Copies of this chain bind each other. A is one copy, B any other.
Amino acid sequence: MRKTAILGIGQTKVGEHWEKSLREIGGDAALAAMQDAGVDKVDALFVGNMLSPLVSGQNQLGAFLADWVGLWKQEAVKVEAACGSGAAAFRAGLMAVASGDVESALVVGVEKMTDKAGRDVTAALATAADADYEVEQGVSFVGLNALVMRRYMHEFGWKHEHFASFSINAHANAMHNPYARLHEKITVEKFEKSAMVATPINLLDASPIGDGAAAIVIVPAEKLTRQPRITVAASGAATDTIAVHSRKDPMFLSAAYLSAKQAYDMAGLSPADIDFFELHDAFSIMSALSLEASGFAERGQGIRLGLDNEICIGGKIPVCTRGGLKARGHPVGATGIYQLVEVIQQLRGECDKTQVGGARVGMAQNIGGSGASIYTHILTKEV
């Protein structure tokens, strides 16, 4: 398999962009990435998106965006794996370059969610769950996560306040990320007092949706000229049952475990080698589960890394260094690309006050559904 590398990145601020259309948001990130890469053309375009058919009445986002950004005639396609669509598209781009069929791929994650009423977006997000066996019962996506969180608290003896450190860390890091949706420091008190969404998940356990796009240009490593040399050390992908109730253990993200294991094996690395971890904190419970399944904590003990400040910049395994889903925001199909862009920013040393010192190996993990589609990527700075 041909080794791949990163030539350019781009992103837009996550927010409520009522003044911009889906194509403008996606186009802004795509053009920024091509400008950063110093190219005005690529061989193929891969778009990660989940909701555009439901929210914007638009399918065929590959051709749709290729047209808008001037990639006329080029191959273009959409890839979807619910909230894991971004990393799924990145992996499709990697495969195309790795196969030798294309010499450059632009991967864009884009989502426009705030044009619709909240209940419509909630219904659209529920399409990530099992329509026949979960949604049919009236459960929402946050409701599913709430059931898992409640069970986790029961099994391992944690209280709601113990989850606060994940959100506090994310909000603190987002203060220094101009692309983040939320710029507001929070405390344990604020966390505990915020409005309930679905017991025990309250507003500060949950990531905000948003409009946004992020983009990456991938090339074969042997053709990469720019410094620092950032290469894709590994790509892992795995699935679990789509319905949470079908899993032997709903508190273990087996697809995270498997995709992380694939990535570690492929890169010849272990969790101890990872300098920082952009994990998928759609809800605070997912931070704990992701850390556990990826080998950073024992079962039921992911929480402790937060309580011990090991997830902060300077800690054992910094997470959500640019704000994570919780504070950078979660434009669902774009999130996986935001995570990878943030890994690349860290490896380039562009993160100022939230820079992970000496960052050489970064990992990103993107989750579709309640753990049904999970992608783990490891990127390294060659020195």
Name the contact of A1 in the complex, choosing from B92, B99, B130, B246 (C-beta under 8 A): B99
The answer to whether A60 and B128 touch across the interface, beta carbons within 8 angstroms, is yes
**Known contacts A53-B54, A99-B95, A242-B67; is-contact A62 B77 (Cβ 8 Å):** no
Is A63 in contact with B368, judged by CB distance below 8 angstroms? yes
Q: Are B239 and A76 in contact (CB under 8 A)?
A: yes
With A60-B372, A99-B98 already in contact, the answer to whether A239 and B79 are too (CB < 8 A) is no
Alpha-carbon separation in the docked complex, A57 to B51 (Å): 11
A127 with B95: CB separation less than 8 A: no
Check: A56 CB closer than 8 A to any chain B CB: yes
* Closest Cβ–Cβ distance, residue A370 to chain B (whole Å): 10
**Count of interface residues, chain A, beta-carbon cutoff 8 Å:** 67
Of the listed residues A50, A239, A243, A372, the one surrounded by the most CB atoms of chain B closer than 10 A to its CB is A239
Please report whether the interface of chain A is mostly helix, strand, loop or mixed according to DSSP.
mixed
Tell me, yes or no, whether A238 is within 8 Å of chain B by CB: yes
Q: Give 1 or 0 for each of A236-261: 1 = CB within 8 Å of chain B CB.
A: 01111111001000000011001000
Instruction: Please indicate the chain B residues that have their CB under 8 angstroms from the CB of A235 in the complex.
Output: 101
Kindly list 7 other residue pairs between chains A and B, CB separation below 8 angstroms, not including A62-B239, A96-B99.
A63-B368, A67-B243, A72-B240, A73-B254, A79-B79, A79-B80, A95-B99
Q: Are B101 and A240 touching (Cβ within 8 A)?
A: no
A100 within 8 A of B: yes
Interchain CB contact under 8 A, A242 and B60: yes
Q: What is the minimal beta-carbon distance from A32 to any residue of chain B, in angstroms?
A: 21
> Assembly of this chain: how many copies?
2
Chain B's closest residue to A59 (CB) is B127
CB distance A77 to B60 under 8 Å?
Answer: no
Query: Would you list which residues of chain A between 45 and 93 have a CB under 8 Å from chain B?
Result: 50-51, 53-54, 56-64, 66-67, 71-82, 84, 88, 91-92
Is A23 an interface residue, CB under 8 A from the partner?
yes
Q: Are A77's CB and B80's CB within 8 A?
A: yes
A35 within 8 A of B: no
A380 interfacial by beta-carbon distance below 8 Å: no
Q: Is A221 an interface residue (CB 8 A)?
A: no
Question: How many angstroms from the CA of A128 to the CA of B62 in the assembled complex?
Answer: 11
Say yes or no: B80 contacts A59, CB within 8 Å.
yes
Q: Within A363-379, which residues are at the interface with B (CB < 8 Å)?
A: 368-369, 372-373
B373:A63 contact, CB within 8 angstroms: yes
Contact A23 B132 (CB under 8 A): yes
Does A196 touch B at the CB level, under 8 Å? no
Residue pair A127, B373 in contact (C-beta under 8 Å): no
- Residue pair B62, A81 in contact (C-beta under 8 Å): yes
Asked if A139 is at the interface (CB within 8 A of a chain B CB), the reply is: no
Report 5 cross-chain contacts, Cβ distance below 8 Å, ordered by A residue: A50-B59, A53-B53, A59-B127, A59-B128, A67-B246
A21, CB-defined interface residue at 8 Å: yes
A131 within 8 A of B: yes
Closest B residue, CB atoms, query A81: B77
Once the chains are docked, how many angstroms separate the CA of A203 from the CA of B261? Answer: 54
Q: Is A2 an interface residue (CB 8 A)?
A: yes
Q: In the complex, which of the residues A61, A75, A76, A246 has the most CB atoms of chain B within 10 Å of its own CB atom? A: A75
Asked if A267 CB lies within 8 Å of chain B CBs, one says no
- Collect the chain B residues with CB atoms within 8 Å of residue A96's CB: 95, 99
Which residues from chain B contact A372 at a C-beta distance below 8 Å? 60, 63-64, 67
A135 at the interface (CB under 8 A from B): yes
What are the residues of chain B within 8 A of A254 when measuring CB–CB?
73
CA distance A81 to B59 in the complex (A): 7
- The residue on B at minimum CB distance from A238 is B73
Nearest 3 CB-CB pairs, A to B?
A: A63-B372, A98-B99, A59-B127
